[in-house]
Amino acid sequence: MSLPLLERAIAEADPRFVLSTTKLPPPPGPGEQYRFHFDMTKCIGCKCCEVACNEQHGNPADIHWRRVGEIEAGEYPFTQRLHLSMGCNHCVDASCLKGCPVDAYNKDALTGLVLHSADACIGCQYCTWNCPYGVPQFNEERGVVGKCDMCHGRLTQGDEPACANACPEQAIAIEVVNIEQWKLEYQALANAPGMPPADQTISTTRITLPANLPANAQKGDFHRVRPEHPHWPLVFMLVLTQLSVGTFCRLLLDPGQAGAIAALLIGHLALAASTAHLGRPIHAYRALKMWRRSWLSREVLAFSLFAGAATLYTATQSFAIGAATVIAGLIGIACSAALYLVPARPAWNSWTTVAEFYLTAVLLAGAPKLVPIAAAAQLVVLAFKYLRFHQSEEFELRQSARLLGNDLKELVWLRIVLLVGGALFSSHPASLLPLLAGEILGRYLFFVGVVPRNMAATFGGRKVA
C-alpha cells in the first residue's frame, strides 16, 4: 500500500510538501496521530464546513460527513446558543472498525486516521450502529457506507481538510496528538455538552468550550424524536431465523419431516432476506471474514452452519445432525442478539434484547403448550424494557420511551394485543399467525424505536442518511 504522506515527508524537495508546513502540522511521529480541534468559542454556526465538505467529496444532500449542531443553555437574556461542528473523531478505540465484518476500516499507520474502503464495504451498515457520533453514513445510491477521512487526499498534498479551509472563523484545525498522553487527558478535553461521552471510543477531537458553558446545555434537537430506519429485511431475517431455530428445537424432541421442510424453507428464506439488507448483496459471503472480531461475522457463520446442518437433518432425520442444527441455531440467535448489544444504541444494549430474541423462537416454535408461558415472559420483558427506558437517566433511553409512548403508541398496543391474543388461542393452529405478526411488529418496533447516541443536531434540519 502506498503512503503518499510518508513519501512526501521523505521527498522534502517536493514543493507541495513545503507548502504543507504552513497549512498542516508536520506528519505525526510514532505513537501520535492527527486529530481535529474544534473551537466552540469561535464557531458562528454558519455551516460553511458542512457545505464545503459535500462539495469536496461530491456527496448528495442527505449525506453530511461534517455536521453542525446546536446547543442552548440559560435564561433570557443570558442565553447561550452555541454550535458544534463535527466530522469523524478518528477515535483511538474506533467502534466502527471493531464491528466491521469485512475489515473495510483501518486506522492509518502514519496518520492515525480511521479510513474506510468503499471497495471492501458490503453495505451492512453495522458501523452506522456502532459509532456513537453518527459518523459513518450509508449512501443509498452507492450501496456502501462513507465517512469523513479528514480529507486524507488533501492532506497528502499538504492542504488542510475542506472544512478547515472553508471555516471563516478558523474554528476547525488539525493537530497532532500523542495517543498515550491523550488517554490521560481526553476526559477533560474531548467531552462537550451535546456530545456523547468520549470514553466509549476515546474520541480524539479536542474541543475548546466557552468558559462559562453549563454542562446541562440542551441539544437543539432535544425535543425531536424521529423513528429510526426499520430495516425490514432484518426484521424478517431475525424473526424467521428465530422461528426456524425454535421449530428445529421442537422437532428434535418431536420429529416430523413435513415440519422440518417448512422450517428449513423459512430458515433459508430468512437468510436470503438478510442479503437484501446489504448494499452489495453479491458480496454477502465476505461477511464471514472477521469472525474472530465481529459479532456480525459470527452471526453469519453460525447461521450458515445452521442452514447447512438443517438441510442435512431434514434429509436424513439423524438425531446427531439435528442436535448440531439446534446448537448452531441457538448460537446463531445468541450472535444475533450480541450484535445488537452496542453502547451507541442504548435501547438495544441490554439483556432484554437477548431475552426477546429467544422468546420469539419459543413463541413461534409451534409448541402450543409453551406459548402462554413464553408470551407472559415476553410481556414481562417488554414491560421491563419500557420501564427501564422511562426511568433512565440516559437521554437516549428516555427519548426511546417517548417515541414508543407517543408516536408509536398504537403500534405498541397492537403488538401487545397480537401477543396476548395469540397466547389466549394458542391451542388453535391458526394462532401462529397473530403470534408471527406480533413478533414481526415487535422487531419492527425494536428497529424504529431505538434512539442512537449522536451529537446534537439543529432544531429544524432534515435527518442525515
Query: Could you say whether residue 141 binds another protein (CB under 8 A)?
Result: yes
Q: Which cell is 420 given?
A: 396476548
Q: What is the DSSP letter of 167?
A: -
List the grid coordinates of 8.
Answer: 512526501
d(CA 214, CA 78): 12
Q: Residues 219-232, buried b or exposed e (16+ Cβ, 10 A)?
A: bbbbeebebbeebe
Which grid coordinates belong to 158? 499538504
Q: Which one, of 290, 432, 449, 313, lies nearest residue 375 by Cα? A: 432
Distances 434 to 40, 202, 422, 429 between C-alpha atoms, Å: 53, 45, 5, 11
Looking from the CA of 109 toward its CB, the CA atoms found within 13 Å total 5
Instruction: Please give the Cα distance from 429 to 452 (Å, whole number).
Output: 39
Instruction: Looking at residues 421 to 460 of the shown chain, list those that interact with another protein (rule: CB under 8 A).
Output: 458-460
Asked whether position 136 contacts another protein by CB under 8 A, the answer is: no
Asked if 393 is part of the footprint of another protein (rule: CB under 8 A), the reply reads no
Q: Compute the least distance from the CB of residue 97 to another protein, in Å.
A: 20
Give the shortest CB-404-to-another protein separation in angstroms.
Answer: 17
Residue 245 Cβ vs another protein, minimum distance, rounded to whole Å: 28
Q: Which is nearer to another protein, 278 or 333 (CB)?
A: 278
Question: Using CA atoms, how far apart are residues 203 and 454, in angstroms rounded to an integer?
Answer: 13
The site map against another protein for 226-245 (x = CB under 8 A) is --------------------
Smallest gap from Cβ 142 to another protein, in A, equals: 5
Residue 185 binds another protein (CB under 8 A):
no
Q: Does 282 bind another protein (CB under 8 A)?
A: yes
User: Using CB under 8 A, which of 168, 197, 214, 255 touches another protein?
Assistant: 168
Task: Give 223 or 428: the residue with its C-beta nearer to another protein.
Answer: 223
Distance CA 113, CA 106 (A): 8
Decide if residue 87 touches another protein (CB under 8 A): no
x/- string (CB under 8 A) for another protein, residues 142-161? Answer: xxx-x----x-xx-xx-x--
C-alpha cell at 32: 501520535
We find the least distance from the C-beta atom of residue 144 to another protein, in angstroms, to be: 5
- Torsions phi, psi for 80 (to 5 deg): -120, 115
Contact window for another protein (CB under 8 A) among 48-56, 343-351, 359-367, 382-390:
48-56
Question: Cβ(400)–Cβ(389) under 8 Å?
Answer: yes
Number of residues that bind another protein (CB under 8 A): 63
List of residues contacting another protein (CB under 8 A): 42, 44-48, 50-52, 54-58, 60-62, 72, 74-77, 79-83, 118-119, 122-123, 141-144, 146, 151, 153-154, 156-157, 159, 162, 165-170, 222-224, 278-283, 458-462
